[in-house]
């Protein structure tokens, strides 16, 4: 990471119907050369559900292209054919840089912009429609390879070929792989939850989730997030 990570692709998307339904989505992102990045994301990038996607805490989505080879081997056709850069609605495509390499609160320079890791992605039911697999969101969650989001600390133009350079690492003990393990595997580790709740650089959504688990001694329901609006009780957003 000392020399940085090259942005292989930069992607934005317009709103289109999702898998033949009336649900609008911006997941089908197209490769572009450059765009202006502000606190709400890249210019001309759109999200179908602004309550749970986009906005200041999820301004930019990053998914490691390294994961696609594994996914192609695990998923049935035609879902496996989707497993190429852009399939998860990511804005940034890189190689050799995954959830084990990036930490909560990391600050990066990217082109003219400065961005900060805010949280890992919490997969949602729209992925089930996107891939044509009823439990695709849960499969991705169980893999602990979900991608992650950035907030924007300094606006500016970013381009394909720019280098993502680490400027400051605030929580070296909290790679996103550890955050994801706490979210979905070691879900009631009280010591770790107490620390996570105090990481100011994490999104308010995740800090509140950690506090709620500590207070209730229970894990929030994931059903609504993973399987759709008909499933009630989810308190987390994708």
CA neighbor of 166 nearest in space, from 219, 214, 101: 101
Global confidence as pTM: 0.92
Q: Which parts of 78-201 are beta strand (E)? A: 92-94, 107-110, 113-120, 148-154, 156-159, 163-168
Give me the residue spans of the domains in the chain: 5-171
In the chain, count H helices and then E strands.
7, 14
Strands 92-94 and 24-25: unpaired
Measured distance CA(200)–CA(218) in Å, rounded? 23
pLDDT tens digits, one per residue of 125-147: 999 999 999 999 999 999 999 99
pLDDT digits (tens, 9 = 90+) for 56-82: 999 999 999 999 999 999 999 999 999
Any residues with CB less than 8 A from the CB of 89 and at least 6 apart, and which? 13, 25, 26, 27, 28, 29, 61
Using the structure block, give the residue that is written with the tokens 């994490």. Answer: 202
* Tokens describing residue 152: 């924007």
Query: Locate tokens 């609006």: which residue?
Result: 229
Query: Which CATH number fits the domain 5-171, given the four candidates 2.40.30.70, 3.40.30.20, 2.40.33.20, 1.10.150.530?
Result: 2.40.33.20
Measured between alpha carbons, how far is 132 from 226 in angstroms, rounded to an integer? 14
Cα–Cα distance for residue pair 25/19, rounded to 1 Å: 10
Q: What is the pLDDT of residue 124?
A: 94
User: For the chain, what is the mean pLDDT?
Assistant: 92
């Amino acid at each position: 990471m000392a020399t940085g990570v090259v942005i292989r692709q930069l992607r934005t998307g317009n709103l289109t119907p999702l898998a033949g339904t009336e649900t609008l989505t911006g997941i089908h992102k197209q490769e572009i050369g450059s765009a202006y990045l502000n606190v709400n994301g890249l210019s001309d990038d759109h999200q179908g559900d602004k309550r749970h996607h986009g906005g200041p805490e999820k301004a930019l989505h990053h998914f490691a292209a390294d994961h696609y080879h594994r996914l192609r081997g695990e998923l049935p056709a035609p879902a496996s054919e989707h497993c190429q850069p852009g399939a998860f609605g990511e804005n940034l495509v890189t190689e050799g840089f995954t959830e084990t390499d990036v930490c909560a609160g990391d600050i990066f320079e990217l082109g003219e912009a400065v961005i900060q890791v805010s949280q890992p992605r919490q997969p949602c039911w729209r992925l089930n429609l996107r891939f044509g697999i009823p439990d695709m969101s849960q499969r991705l969650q169980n893999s602990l390879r979900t991608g992650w989001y950035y907030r924007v600390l300094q606006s500016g133009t970013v381009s394909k070929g720019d280098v993502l350079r680490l400027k400051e690492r605030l929580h070296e003990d909290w790679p996103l792989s550890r955050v994801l393990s706490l979210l979905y595997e070691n879900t009631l580790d009280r010591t770790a939850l107490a620390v996570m709740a105090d990481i100011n650089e994490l999104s308010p959504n995740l800090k509140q989730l950690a506090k709620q688990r500590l207070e209730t001694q229970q894990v929030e329901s994931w059903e609504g997030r993973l399987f759709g609006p008909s499933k009630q009780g989810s308190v987390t957003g994708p």
